[in-house]
Amino acid sequence: MRLKGRAAVVTGAASGIGKAIALRLAAEGAFVVVADLTETPREGGTGTVEAIRAAGGAAVFRSCDVTRADDLAAAVAAAAEPTGRLDVMVNNAAIGTDTPLHETSEADWDRVMAVNAKGVFLGCREAVRRMLGQDPLGEVRGRIVNISSQHGMIRAPNDFAYGVGKAAVVYMTRQIAGDYAADGIVCNAVAPGKVLTGKTGRAVDPEMLAYSRARTPWPRLGRPEDVANAVLFLASDEASYITGENLMVDGGWMAN
């Protein structure tokens, strides 16, 4: 129960990695706001809030388009209702286009930047505004965990806009960490490698899976729980004196 009595927002928490993060934080005692466009998991199965409550945890759903500042403000306000605090903000929502540069339309570029870059900016901004006004617990007023990617540091094959957006997440994480450390606000990122979430389509195309397996030294690809465990660590008091880091959860991808 490392997060007992704490409140968290997880964006994009209806499905995949976001769902696993929300479940993990709730299992450790956090009250979790599941912020997403829909409650329906892309991979099917039980909804996130229903699963958390069935396991004895506390969660609510808030419809949230991360490109809209008002939606993120409402999600943060919902998290703060029980205790007046936002302790953990996880900016996870992201999209891609599955296209190289020359096939990426201006509309698709704008859409990806709105979610992957602006959405993280708005989420971080709302979290910092709330955290600055609350008393520290120990040394920390609040913790932000952004979900980046190895493709924020190296190329994202045939997904140009996605990679650029994730690079922005890596930069924002470091700047926020430096700018607000003196205020007791911690900001880190988790960079997943190839994670199998149950998505269909290009994500599990045999050619893409072969590429990911060739790049990953570990003898399996990632699971959403691998990322969730890393987020939990960075969201907990165990991660002391760590800020501005981009933690790789990639099975050795970036070492290969």
Residues catalogued as catalytic: 162
CA angle 225, 7, 67 (to 5 degrees): 75
Mind giving me the DSSP string for 73-126?
HHHHHHHHTTTS---EEEE---------GGG--HHHHHHHIIIIIIHHHHHHHH
71: number of Cβ within 10 Å: 20
CA angle 219, 167, 231 (to 5 degrees): 55
Report the alpha-carbon distance of residue 187 to residue 191 in Å, rounded.
14
**CA 80 remoteness from chain centre:** 19
| CB crowding 81-98: b at 16 or more within 10 Å, else e | eeeebbbbbbbbbbbbbb
Residue 135's closest CA among 83, 197, 171, 77?
A: 83
Burial of 186 (0-12, 13-18, 19+ CB in 10 A): buried
